[in-house]
Amino acid sequence: MRLSTAELTANAAEQVEPTQRIVKIRRDYNTWVANESIEDYALRFTPRSFRKWSILRVSNTALGAISFLVLEAIGGTIAVNYGFINAFWAILAVGAIIFLTGLPISYYAAKYGLDMDLLTRGASFGYIGSTISSFIYASFTFILFALEAAIMAYALELYFHLPLYIGYLVSALVVIPLVTHGITLISRIQMITQPIWLILMFLPFLAILHHDPDIISKLSMFAGISGQAGEFNLHMFGAATAVGVALIPQIGEQVD
């Protein structure tokens, strides 16, 4: 039985899939992703054409990423609350844990150019699991950024008598022009400012040693508010370690 031309046309029209409608938000996102000057490879696979940096440049960028002021604040808080001896061994233990945890993650992220989201999916957490983990990493990063801005705002108030709310705005907004063009620009800025940062990092320690040459021997006996002067206490060590272990989610942000 032959079908008429009208019937064939009607059947063909029914089989044609509807045209996909791309909303403006998706179109804008695709435009941003295609813009290589943004270098937002945390959202996707990092192409091999971009992975041409030397070990020195990668190390310099990584050093800048882990040298945030919150680490000094957390380390000082641990020492004050649990004493120097407990804080010292706790920081070493946490450092070893973070190193062993981050080694395979960093290896596969660097070798295959994958971000933390793709690594989480490949570890059988699935799309929903990777979304939840990415949300945790992002929340952790926002908290650290807020603490960094608070520290900088207090520094601006101390040295320039700038009101805190203005210091918060300055600390939050000044980084936006730097990060919008990707890690290449950030790496260049770090290469230029690294000597200044190193001098400012070690200068306070040299000044303290010059003022009090016996400070190192005194530091080992610093008890803080724990009252365990120069003695190792397992409970204090465990509490200090728990504070440091909370920094492990930062691995996700560093990989991205």
Give how many domains the chain has, as a whole number. 1
Residue 8: predicted pLDDT = 47
Tens digits of residue pLDDT in 58-77: 777 777 767 778 888 888 88
pLDDT of residue 41: 55
Q: Tell me, letter by letter, the H, E, C secondary structure of 178-190.
A: HHCCHHHHHHHHH
Query: What is the rounded (10 degree) CA torsion for 62, 67, 70, 72?
Result: 140
Q: Classify the C-alpha dihedral 81-84-85-86 as positive or negative.
A: positive
pLDDT, tens digit (0-9, with 9 covering 90-100), for 28-69: 666 665 555 555 555 555 666 666 777 777 777 777 767 778
**pLDDT confidence tier of residue 241, bands split at 50, 70 and 90:** very high
Task: Tell me if 219 sits within 8 A of 84, measured CB to CB.
Answer: yes
Nearest to 125 by CA among 253, 1, 252: 252
Task: For residue 112, name the pLDDT band (cuts at 50, 70, 90).
Answer: confident
Arithmetic mean of pLDDT, 122-138 = 76
> What whole-number percentage of the chain has pLDDT above 90?
11
Q: Which residue has the tokens 């020195």?
A: 56
pLDDT given at position 88: 92
Confidence of residue 22 (pLDDT cuts 50, 70, 90): low
Can you give the residue range of the structural domain that contains 211? 5-255
**Which letter does DSSP use for residue 23 in this model?**
-
Closest by CA to 250, choosing from 65, 46, 30, is 65
Q: Which amino acid is at 55?
A: I
6-20, 146-160, 161-175: range with lowest mean pLDDT: 6-20
What average pLDDT does this structure show over 100-115?
80
Contact, 77 vs 240, CB < 8 A?
no
Q: Tell whether the model's pLDDT for residue 79 goes beyond 70.
A: yes
**For position 157, what pLDDT does the model report?**
92
Question: Residue 18: how many CA atoms within 13 Å on its side-chain side?
Answer: 3
pTM across the whole model: 0.70
In degrees, rounded to 5, the angle at the alpha carbon of residue 53 between the alpha carbons of residues 48 and 41 is 50
Q: How far is the C-alpha of 65 from the C-alpha of 197, rounded, in Å?
A: 13
Task: Identify the pLDDT of residue 32.
Answer: 61
- Residue at 225: amino acid letter: I
DSSP class of residue 224 equals T
